[in-house]
Amino acid sequence: MTLQLVLIAAAALFCVGLYGALSQQVVVMVMMGLELMLNGVILAVAAFWWFLTPVPDGQVLLLVVITAMTVEMAMGFAVATLLHRSRGSDMTDSATDLAG
Amino acid sequence: MLSVIVFSALAVIALASGIAVFRVDSMARATYALAVSFVAVGVMLLMFDLDYIGVITILMMVMEMAIMAIYMIMFMGMNPALMPMSMVHNKRWSAILAVGTFLLLAGGALLIPWAARTGSPAADLTASLGEAIMGSKMLVMLTVSPILFATIVAALVLANPRGRYDRWGDELNRPTPDDPQQGGLGR
């Protein structure tokens, strides 16, 4: 197992998530894309930690990424609930009030 | 050699299930596919001896995906497996951007002359993580804790259908609360 192999797997996961986050219309599906992107980030951070400097700092960074993922999910669900209640829809295209 | 084979298999599973998230018709299946992807990455973390991080990733994500499945079913209001419809936009440009980003990242991963490993992992990685967040990296925990608390408050405020301003007015001075059904506690 090499750093390059792990980073390519992480990049692939990140980019699949990027595609989903950009292309999906349903808010929860967009959140799934963001989750996949963070999944790739977690893998990449773990690889950097293991192959370059296996000191505790890298593990702390992983905890921060996992926390970011948790915050994103909690706020995403709350916004999806609010959107569904106020607009009766969970599509991103119906929530463009602040766009442009 | 065995670790390369196992890791590659896990990477293929994580990637295939990640792609399946946006390919399957059923929202429940999409959620389960994402859970499989997270479990595969969690097992990869375990291969890096990250026992604590790997286990919390698997446990947290499986629970999170269970909640997400409920949300998907609750909000979609129909079963896309029975009524297939396209719910995507900008598909072409999204794909081009994703592939371009992958080529950039993969190129960087292959072309950058990575430094050699310095230092060695602690004998007990979980204990070393605990010592770090309770010692030299305590600021991280001190920052993360209020952020998580603020998230709980903000999520409740956003998701709550009726707050005290709905009940008691903008000045909170209504003599009786405006409730759909009277009764309950007064001021």
In the predicted model, is pLDDT for residue A89 greater than 80? no
pLDDT over threshold 90, residue A100: no
In the block, residue with structure tokens 């960087």 = B108
| Whether pLDDT at B185 is above 80 | no
Task: Count CB neighbours of A80 within 10 A.
Answer: 23
- One-letter amino acid of B20: A
ipTM value for the complex? 0.90
Residue A24 main-chain phi, psi, to 5 deg = -80, 150
Alpha helices per DSSP H over A1-100: 3-23, 27-51, 56-87
> Where are chain B's structural domains?
1-81, 126-173
What percent of chain A is modeled with pLDDT above 90?
50
What pLDDT sits at residue B186?
63
pLDDT for position A41 = 94
pLDDT at A25: 85
Q: According to the model, what pLDDT value does residue B79 have?
A: 58
Query: B91 versus B107: which is more confidently predicted?
Result: B107
Check the CA dihedral B36-B41-B45-B47 and report its sign: positive
**How many CB atoms within 10 Å of residue B9?**
12
CB contact under 8 A, A56 and B122: yes
The pLDDT score that the predictor gives to residue B9 is: 94
* pLDDT per position as a tens digit, B169-178: 888 888 888 8
Candidate from B19, B110, B137 with C-beta closest to A60: B137
| pLDDT over 60 (residue A33) | yes
Give B72's contacts in chain A (Cβ within 8 Å).
28
Highest mean pLDDT of the ranges A55-59, A91-95, B105-109:
B105-109
B123, amino acid identity: A
User: Best interface-test mutation with B: which of A2, A30, A39, A57 has the largest number of B CBs within 10 A?
Assistant: A39
- Map out the domains of chain A with their CATH numbers: 3-89 (1.10.287.3510)
State the average pLDDT over residues B148-162: 90
> Residue B88's pLDDT band (boundaries 50, 70, 90)?
confident
Tens digit of each residue's pLDDT (9 = 90 or more) over B60-80: 988 888 888 887 777 765 555
Question: Percent of chain B beyond pLDDT 70?
Answer: 92
- Rounded to the nearest angstrom, the minimum Cα separation between A99 and chain B is 16
Give the count of alpha carbons within 13 A of A15, CB side only.
19
For A78-88, what is the mean pLDDT?
83
